[in-house]
């Protein structure tokens, strides 16, 4: 349709608002309460425009109609807007001099534009409210609030934490958390994502750690990718001098967080970048003490020692650990270093401890080990089946997107031994026994087939081996599964029916599925479930492993695994050996290398030296005492990291690396999206990006690696890695890409296996239930699970060096059920000792009903109470992932 | 409130469970039951109706008929509508505050006998200035009459 704005004709679509059409055509209409990401309230009245008959209407809330005539700049409009600003100013402190928002305040801009130095209704002499800041993250000054409600809507509609709402009314109206106890109050559900601050048009909401660190015009800004979980949020680092002082939002439709979402880690845990503990100089251990040395000395020494072992014991005596925290380019170089310079396939990384079983399972079933669908498709699903994953804590931005979908009617099944936040949103809420997943999922398939709810056409056209599983699952009636999993048979039936009847059912899973002796079987069972109902290869469905680290997907993609070259090209395939031999000019190792846990098992025996980049196995790997012994048994250990980690303490050489904020490269997020990482600050001291360090070391060892920039490394990756074939930094500056992206013209792939599986036909694998390796007995009478929590990340090297995060969550803990606590006489915050067959740990008790009686949960982030001193290194045969989720322990109160 | 058994609210909440728009009627009934809306009761209602605490608190503080503080045995509503205002309701209010040692912020006496609130219009402009104490209407008020009215209530209380 056609409409007229300021006497000029414009095209508009039915359903658009006047404001949308105006903005599309770059006609300026001021707003205070409007955001394209939020619902419309028309509260601020700033976007007033004039339509026929001199009527003044809010542009944001007025739909266009054919032939509409609109004036955005008439005298009446001007006067109306001026009156609104005048009224707002009458209750707003004129303290711009010291206000954090000075230079970045919509109200200030409008007052300037309309020439209002102060309100004609008088000046607000004294504050009417108290400033609320009883939390480490966000300061709220209600006197600066204009009650536009953007923060309330951002909280309720995007973040879905329901932490704030309007309280009181009239002149006393104030945005408040529950019972006006502040965002940090006991009953507050705020998770400190910062979206309210980002949406605030004035200085009412501000980041506490950034106070007096500089105002908008003082700050340099750089877009980059978050260094925490696998969601891969795009963030804006704001920098003053050489320090990141604030993390703001990026709004990009083509990103995993289009509405500028983040979580507390991405938003606030950045001060580790500039932390005094950062490594500044290379270190060599001389007589048991670390001594600062030059790069030249450190590299020469490292090259000599590696060369010595290689010559004495052969290349297989060396192993490398790459890093899911480092860029794609660096992971590529690390595995190239191990394969080309050293000559071994023994290169692995912590994906072994998280999703090795996913890669193994999904590759077998579908032909590709990655998340099948995209994050944005949470909006398209009719049902989520979340099993062994706690999205609102571990992938918070995806957790919020799920809540948005749930609010609109998407159904939910949650299966988790613990009561996670999403459990309370679930239509079917299941608490299976740890390690009973195969029985549970098989029983769901049993119900689906017996009740004829399976997708016969999909099974016939798209898959093979259905008969095999059909016979296997006959044994898994819901009643049998009830005995194994503790889940009532009727609940299993309900879950099965709900899942099967949904048109687009999406499975989401994480460590609760993978970190088991039967991890690969667990994944295969889920793949079977999805294929039985035809839920693969379509939008809003799929089997979706949520990857834990920022670049764990990329580290796997680029071949930091002992059995594959970049792009999952098998090292035992002669054609691939030939391809890489030629490309790299080497004599390739033709056998699969050792995995993480195997490397440590062989330390001091077949493995003499290890090169570790950005990993901290002393905290992340199972059975800590064993890992420590293994590190001591090595002849030579090089650790390249940004901090002196618990692992680096054991090193002979420590090389100081650059953090994500100090280098270029790319990360690949959980949905296979490749995104740029951009340098924002200079590295401290002599720290260097990992790609440079590896290149220098390779050159010292006589293998030339001359890359001027990571973009050149990516070009080499593209030439050798079909799934990254069209990925170049130049393209990524325009648009992020999701692999497979085979060539420069390919736009990337939103969801996998459409029309055909990566392996051709989807393959059913019959799997049978096997109990976990450890059982409770008279001595060890509880089952302990490990995991993560919202505020901390992995081994805590980053988040525990954030002052704000640590102020919120300082101490390690173990979750205990209130019934067990009562029986043992343990109260909240009591000191307790948890003992397994491998070690003991002291920590604080957290008593409640998140875990079931007989079970415990301990986050593994804490060096002083390392959960992994207790865990069992028993491995999944197929994927070599240890069983971190089931450890038999005993619990005692420390008096 | 200290020893109030919140489960006594279950029959009230039961009728509204799962129904949209039930928060206000439930809060009403809870207030009738307890006399006001203590935070513990708000939490109980929120949990029962599966509503966010922030929402329940927002609604409980929005409407003047809800109170988060215990109210006195006698709730005095002084009308401050246009007619009453013109005919001297401010003086009535001032006198009541003086007599009861209350202020704009402190509206309930320490002995929980009186609560003093203003309302916008009681719809009895013919009796202006007017006030109500619980359900009884007192028309044509003057500051002089206040003492007697209060004394009368004090007396009936003993």
Q: For the segment A142-173, what is each residue's pLDDT rounded down to a tens digit?
A: 999 999 999 999 999 999 999 999 999 888 99
- Cβ distance B26 to B63 under 8 Å? no
Judge whether B111 lies within some domain. Answer: yes
- pLDDT (0 to 100) of residue B3: 67
* ipTM of predicted assembly, 2 dp: 0.85
Top CATH class, A782-893: mainly beta
Q: pLDDT of A241-296, one tens digit each?
A: 999 999 999 999 999 999 999 999 999 999 999 999 999 999 999 999 999 999 99
Shortest Cα distance, chain A CAs vs residue B145, angstroms = 32
Residue A437, C-beta contacts closer than 8 angstroms, at least 6 positions apart: A387, A388, A415, A485, A512, A513, A516, A518, A522, A525
d(CA A523, CA A544): 10
| Interface contact A179-B53, CB threshold 8 A | yes
Interface of A with B (CB under 8 A): 162-169, 176-180, 187, 189, 424
Q: pLDDT of A417-433, one tens digit each?
A: 999 999 999 999 999 99
Among B30, B62, B94, residue at a domain's last position: B62
The half-sphere exposure of A90 on its side-chain side, counting CA atoms within 13 A, is 10
Looking at the partner chain, which of B50, B54, B63 has a beta carbon nearest the beta carbon of A178?
A: B54
Q: pLDDT of A173-204, one tens digit each?
A: 999 999 999 999 999 999 999 999 999 999 99
Shortest Cα distance, chain B CAs vs residue A68, angstroms = 37
How many domains would you assign to chain B? 2
Q: What is the mean pLDDT of chain A?
A: 95
Pair B81, B143 in one domain: yes
What the block records as the tokens of B89 is 């309701």
- pLDDT (0 to 100) of residue B71: 87
Pair B148, B86 in one domain: yes
d(CA A548, CA A38): 29
| Interface contact B58-A189, CB threshold 8 A | no
Of all residues in chain B, the one with the smallest CA distance to A186 is: B53
Closest CA to A230 of A560, A547, A557: A547
- Cβ distance A345 to A573 under 8 Å? no
Please work out, in degrees rounded to the nearest 5, the angle formed at the alpha carbon of residue B75 by the alpha carbons of B74 and B77: 140
Pair B37, B98 in one domain: no
Pair B78, B58 in one domain: no
Residue A353, C-beta contacts closer than 8 angstroms, at least 6 positions apart: A515, A596, A620, A621, A622, A881, A882, A884
* CATH level 2 (architecture), domain A283-352+554-721: 3-Layer(aba) Sandwich (3.40)
At A705 the three-state DSSP class reads coil
Shortest Cα distance, chain B CAs vs residue A156, angstroms = 10
Phi, psi dihedral angles at A189 (to 5 degrees): -100, 15
At the fourth CATH level, the homologous superfamily of domain A356-545 is: Dimethylsulfoxide Reductase, domain 2 (3.40.228.10)
Looking at the partner chain, which of A167, A180, A189 has a beta carbon nearest the beta carbon of B52?
A: A189
Cα–Cα distances (Å) from A316 to A294, A602, A626, in that order, read: 29, 11, 21
| Interface contact B57-A166, CB threshold 8 A | no
Phi, psi dihedral angles at A283 (to 5 degrees): -130, 140
Looking at the partner chain, which of A169, A177, A424 has a beta carbon nearest the beta carbon of B54?
A: A177
Pair B51, B19 in one domain: yes
| Interface contact A178-B52, CB threshold 8 A | yes
Judge whether B124 lies within some domain. Answer: yes
Of all residues in chain B, the one with the smallest CA distance to A190 is: B54
CATH fold for the domain made of A2-73? Ubiquitin-like (UB roll) (3.10.20)
Of all residues in chain A, the one with the smallest CA distance to B42 is: A179
pLDDT band at B65 (very low <50, low <70, confident <90, very high): confident
Query: Is residue B1 pLDDT above 80, yes or no?
Result: no
Looking at the partner chain, which of A163, A168, A179 has a beta carbon nearest the beta carbon of B62?
A: A168
CATH number of A119-268: 3.30.70.20
pTM of the model: 0.93
Residues pairing with A124 in the sheet? none
What the block records as the tokens of A379 is 């909006």
| Domain definitions of chain A by residue range | 2-73, 119-268, 283-352+554-721, 356-545, 782-893
CATH, residue B129: 3.40.30.10
Interface of B with A in 104-143 (CB under 8 A): none
Judge whether B1 lies within some domain. Answer: no
Residue A39, C-beta contacts closer than 8 angstroms, at least 6 positions apart: A153, A157
Of all residues in chain B, the one with the smallest CA distance to A178 is: B54
Shortest Cα distance, chain A CAs vs residue B31, angstroms = 17
Judge whether B69 lies within some domain. Answer: no
Contacts of A176 in chain B (CB under 8 A): 54, 57-58, 61
Looking at the partner chain, which of A169, A178, A424 has a beta carbon nearest the beta carbon of B57?
A: A178
Please work out, in degrees rounded to the nearest 5, the angle formed at the alpha carbon of residue A224 by the alpha carbons of A219 and A227: 115
Query: Is residue B156 pLDDT above 60, yes or no?
Result: no
Q: pLDDT of A5-47, one tens digit each?
A: 999 999 999 999 999 999 999 999 999 999 999 999 999 999 9
Judge whether B33 lies within some domain. Answer: yes
Judge whether B104 lies within some domain. Answer: yes
- Cβ distance A187 to A228 under 8 Å? no
Q: Which domain holds residue B25?
A: 6-62
pLDDT-flagged residues of chain A (< 70): none
Contacts of B63 in chain A (CB under 8 A): 169
């Amino acid at each position: 349709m056609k409409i007229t704005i300021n006497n000029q004709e414009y095209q508009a679509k039915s359903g658009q608002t006047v404001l949308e059409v105006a903005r599309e055509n770059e006609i300026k209409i001021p707003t205070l309460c409007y955001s394209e990401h939020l619902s419309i309230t028309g509260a601020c009245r700033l976007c007033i425009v004039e339509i026929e008959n001199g009527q003044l209407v809010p542009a944001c809330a007025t739909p266009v109609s054919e032939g509409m005539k609109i004036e955005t700049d008439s005298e009446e409009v001007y006067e109306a807007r001026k009156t609104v600003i005048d009224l707002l100013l009458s209750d707003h402190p004129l303290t711009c001099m010291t206000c954090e928002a000075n230079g970045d305040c919509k109200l200030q801009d409008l007052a300037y534009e309309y020439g209002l130095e102060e309100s004609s209704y008088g000046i607000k002499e004294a504050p009417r409210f108290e400033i609320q800041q009883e939390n480490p993250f966000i300061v709220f000054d209600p006197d600066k609030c204009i009650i536009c409600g953007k923060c309330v809507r951002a909280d309720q509609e995007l973040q879905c934490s329901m932490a704030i709402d309007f309280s009181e009314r009239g002149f006393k109206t104030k945005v408040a958390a529950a019972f006006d106890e502040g965002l940090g109050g006991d009953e507050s559900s705020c998770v400190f994502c910062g979206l309210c601050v980002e949406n605030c048009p004035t200085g009412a909401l501000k980041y506490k750690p950034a106070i007096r660190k500089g105002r908008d015009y003082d700050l340099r800004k750089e877009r980059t990718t978050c260094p925490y979980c696998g969601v891969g949020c795009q963030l804006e680092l704001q920098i003053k001098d050489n320090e990141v002082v604030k993390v703001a939002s990026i709004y990009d439709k083509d990103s995993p967080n289009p509405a500028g979402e983040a979580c507390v880690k991405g938003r606030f845990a950045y001060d580790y970048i500039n932390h005094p503990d950062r490594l500044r100089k290379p270190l060599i251990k001389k007589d048991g003490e670390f001594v600062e040395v030059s790069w030249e000395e450190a590299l020469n020494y490292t090259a000599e020692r590696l060369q010595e072992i290689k010559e004495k014991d052969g290349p297989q005596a060396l192993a490398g650990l790459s890093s899911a925290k480092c860029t794609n380019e660096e992971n590529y170089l690390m595995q190239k270093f191990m394969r080309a310079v050293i000559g071994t396939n023994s290169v692995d990384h912590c994906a072994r401890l998280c999703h090795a079983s996913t890669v193994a399972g999904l590759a077998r079933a579908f032909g590709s080990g990655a998340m099948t669908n995209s994050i944005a498709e949470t909006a398209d699903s009719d049902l989520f089946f979340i099993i062994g994953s706690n999205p609102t804590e571990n992938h918070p931005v995806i957790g919020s997107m799920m809540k948005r979908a749930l609010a609109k009617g998407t159904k939910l099944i949650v299966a988790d031994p613990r009561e996670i936040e999403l459990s309370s949103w679930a239509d079917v809420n299941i608490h299976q026994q740890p390690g009973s997943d195969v029985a549970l999922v098989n029983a769901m398939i049993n119900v689906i087939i017996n009740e004829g709810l399976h997708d016969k056409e999909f099974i016939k056209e798209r898959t093979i081996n259905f008969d095999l599983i059909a016979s296997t699952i006959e044994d898994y009636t819901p009643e049998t599964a009830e005995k194994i999993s503790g889940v009532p048979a009727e609940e299993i039936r309900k879950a099965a029916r709900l899942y099967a009847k949904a048109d687009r059912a999406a499975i989401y899973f994480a460590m609760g599925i993978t970190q088991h002796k039967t991890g690969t079987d667990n994944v295969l069972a889920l793949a079977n479930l999805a294929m039985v109902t035809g839920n693969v290869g379509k939008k809003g469905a799929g089997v979706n492993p949520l990857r834990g680290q920022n670049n764990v997907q990329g580290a796997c993609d680029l071949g930091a695994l002992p059995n594959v070259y970049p792009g999952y090209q098998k090292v035992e395939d002669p054609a691939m050996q030939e391809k890489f031999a030629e490309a790299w000019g080497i004599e390739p190792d033709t056998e699969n290398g050792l995995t993480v846990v195997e490397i440590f098992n062989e330390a001091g025996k077949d493995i003499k030296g290890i090169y570790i980049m950005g990993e901290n196995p002393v905290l992340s790997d199972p059975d800590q005492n064993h890992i420590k012994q293994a590190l001591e048994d090595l002849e030579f250990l090089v650790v390249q990291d940004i901090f002196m980690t618990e692992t680096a303490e054991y090193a002979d050489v420590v090389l100081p690396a650059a953090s994500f904020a100090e280098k270029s490269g790319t990360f690949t997020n959980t949905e296979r999206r490749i995104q740029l990482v951009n340098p924002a600050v200079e590295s401290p001291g002599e720290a260097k990006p990992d790609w440079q360090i590896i290149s220098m070391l390779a050159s010292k060892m006589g293998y030339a690696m001359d890359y001027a920039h990571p973009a050149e490394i990516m070009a080499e990756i593209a030439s050798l890695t079909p799934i990254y074939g069209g990925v170049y930094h130049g393209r990524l500056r325009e648009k992020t890409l999701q692999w497979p992206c085979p060539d420069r013209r390919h736009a990337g792939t939103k969801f996998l296996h459409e029309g055909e599986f990566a392996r051709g036909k989807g393959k059913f694998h019959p799997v049978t239930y096997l109990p976990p390796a450890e059982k409770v007995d008279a001595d060890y009478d509880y089952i302990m699970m490990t995991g993560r929590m919202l505020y901390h990340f992995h081994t805590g090297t980053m988040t525990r060096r954030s002052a704000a995060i640590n102020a919120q969550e300082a101490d390690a803990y173990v979750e205990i059920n209130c019934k067990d606590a009562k029986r043992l006489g343990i109260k909240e915050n009591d000191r307790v000792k948890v003992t397994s067959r491998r070690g003991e740990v002291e920590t604080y008790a957290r008593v409640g009903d998140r875990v079931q009686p007989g079970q415990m949960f301990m986050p593994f982030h804490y060096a002083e109470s390392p959960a992994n001193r207790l865990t069992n290194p028993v491995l999944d045969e197929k994927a070599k992932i240890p069983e971190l989720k089931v450890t038999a322990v005993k619990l005692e109160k420390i008096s | 409130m200290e020893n109030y058994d919140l489960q006594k609210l279950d029959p009230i909440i039961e009728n509204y469970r799962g129904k949209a728009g039930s928060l206000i009627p439930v809060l009403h009934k809870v207030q009738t039951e307890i006399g006001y809306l203590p935070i513990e009761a708000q939490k109980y209602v929120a949990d029962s109706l599966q509503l966010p605490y922030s929402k329940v608190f927002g609604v409980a503080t929005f409407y003047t008929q809800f109170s988060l503080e215990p109210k006195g045995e006698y709730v005095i509503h002084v009308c401050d509508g246009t007619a009453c205002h013109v005919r001297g309701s401010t003086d009535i209010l001032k006198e009541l505050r003086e007599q009861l040692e209350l202020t704009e912020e402190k509206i309930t006496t320490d002995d929980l006998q009186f609560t003093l609130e203003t309302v916008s219009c009681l719809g009895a402009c013919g009796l202006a200035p007017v006030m109500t104490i619980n359900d009884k209407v007192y028309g044509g008020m003057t500051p002089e009459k206040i003492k007697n009215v209060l004394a009368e209530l004090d007396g009936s209380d003993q």
